[in-house]
Amino acid sequence: MAAITYKKTANRIYYSAIIFLLFGSLNAQAKITTCLKELTNNPADTSKYEISDTQKKEIENDLREKMGLASIGFDKHETLIYDKREPAIRGSEKMRELILSAIDDQKNVFLVCNYSGANEVQFAKTDKGWIDVNSRITTYEIMFDFEDFENSRRYTPDVVLESYSLGILLFHEIDHKVSYDPKYPIPPTGVRPDKSSRGVRGVIENTNIVRRELSLVLRNSKRRIAKRYRGANQIFTNTRQITFKGPAGKRNFLRWKLESKRPKMQRADATSRVKLGNV
């Protein structure tokens, strides 16, 4: 069972929506952690940092569309679940393979958190993970900056927005940390890199397989870092951009502006991390 939890740090509340991607069926029951009471005794209004119902619905709708499964979604405990009996209708086989395996994974937990406004997060980012000393379960924190998605809509065509969506980025971040395909294991470094190299298929290339199955424009797999826009169009001044290409080779760009004044959210301390891993 997952929950929405909060952490008081530096006199402000850090609110994160935590989704335990565990044993996945409509009848799945995950363990309940009592560490929430130890995080803070001040249940103040923390709605500014909560993953809203609208944002959760956006994640659900994108996963349903791209995976071809109508049943996938969050239950009342904020746990991502699906009906194993449901046949897939279209959607990406590659995406289903990874996301459903992550939901069914009993060795790894993925916490999906709201880091909107965090300078260190551009759209999405995953931490190094931590291991619970008792259960030996590894927990990863996937940080979403929803403000980046909102900002990019001002400068980016729809064909790219559809190809760089919440569900696609969830796939991308999990693929950095865990492999469910024995032919393409995680390298000895413990992290799958963005770019492919000899003997290692990168995350961007894997995510482009999903995009091909969904007939979406493909991201440039040769570059992992966004470039600064240097053209003459003043609309795009001070934006960063990532290149995508369509079937005919036409280039499109994901563009967004860095928000230098966004508050930098603090991370949970090591003690809280161990407790959050007790599932």
How many CB atoms are closer than 10 A to CB 1? 16
pLDDT tens-place string over residues 212-267? 999 999 999 988 889 999 999 999 999 999 999 988 889 999 999 987 633 344 44
Distance, in Å, from the CA atom of 256 to the CA atom of 235, rounded to the nearest integer, reads 11
| pLDDT value of position 113 | 83
Distance, in Å, from the CA atom of 200 to the CA atom of 277, rounded to the nearest integer, reads 29
Q: How far is CA 7 from CA 12, 17, 110, 166, in A?
A: 8, 11, 18, 24
Secondary structure class of 248 (helix, strand, coil): coil
Average pLDDT over residues 55-73: 94
Burial label for 255, CB within 10 Å (0-12, 13-18, 19+), is buried
| pLDDT value of position 269 | 33
- Report how far apart the first and last C-alpha atoms of the chain are (Å, whole number): 9
Distance, in Å, from the CA atom of 98 to the CA atom of 174, rounded to the nearest integer, reads 8
| pLDDT value of position 234 | 92
Contact of 66 with 83, CB cutoff 8 Å: no
Round the average pLDDT of the chain to a whole number and report it. Answer: 77
Distance, in Å, from the CA atom of 239 to the CA atom of 258, rounded to the nearest integer, reads 7
| pLDDT value of position 50 | 65
pLDDT score of 29 more than 60:
no
20: its two tokens:
């335990």
pLDDT tens-place string over residues 183-210? 999 999 999 999 998 889 999 999 999 9
